[in-house]
Amino acid sequence: MLLRASSQSLGEEVELDGVVQGVDAVDTRMPASKELVAFADAVVAGSEEELTAARTALLSVASPEEFVDAAGVVGNFERMVRIADGTGIPLDDYARDATEEMREDLGLNSFASAVHTLGS
């Protein structure tokens, strides 16, 4: 939801498919989008070799400061998902209404954690 809101606010409507489908579906109108997604994939689930390659690729298109930001954000959300699912919190009311169509389009309702997060 924040990706859509932030891109719209900047006048840069972004296709969201890459969030779920990965590098091949990333909207390349966003600078360094493929390299950022590949980097996230490698940090979360990649081998050391894959991570080294992703790091090199990201640093070839992003500044050192952007690279450090990316590592911090990936680490941050490895935490956020565990807080959400480890405590079984429901989706916030405002997000439930605002994301109904997006959840359907991206197939998010099939995520395992949707059972408790949607309160269904």
Partner 1 sequence: MSSKALSNETDRDVLDSVVGDFAGCPVPVRSDLADAHGFVLSRLRRAGTWWTGAERLAIAAESRAANICPYCAERKKALSPYTFKGEHTLAPGTAGVLPYPIIDLVHMAVTDVTRITKKAIDDLADAGLSDAHYVEALGVVVVMRSMDQTCRGLGVPLHTLPSVVDGTPTRIRPENMVEAEAYVPMVPADAFMTEDQDFTPGRGVPNVARALTLVPNAVYEWFVLSNAQYIPSAQFGHVTEGRSLSRPQIELLAGRVSALNDCFY
What residues contact 88, with CB distance under 8 A and at least 6 apart? Answer: 116, 117
- How far apart are CB 6 and partner 1 at their closest, in Å? 4
Among 53, 57, 59, 61, binds partner 1 (CB under 8 A): 59
* One of 44, 100, 104, 105 touching partner 1 (CB under 8 A): 44
Question: What are the φ/ψ torsions at residue 119 (nearest 5 degrees)?
Answer: 70, 25
Among candidate residues 39, 65, 62, the one with its CA nearest the CA of residue 52: 39
Is residue 66 involved in binding partner 1 (CB under 8 A)?
yes
Tell me: does residue 47 bind partner 1 (CB under 8 A). Answer: no
The residues in 78-117 that bind partner 1, with binding defined as CB under 8 A, are 78-92, 108-109, 111-114, 116-117
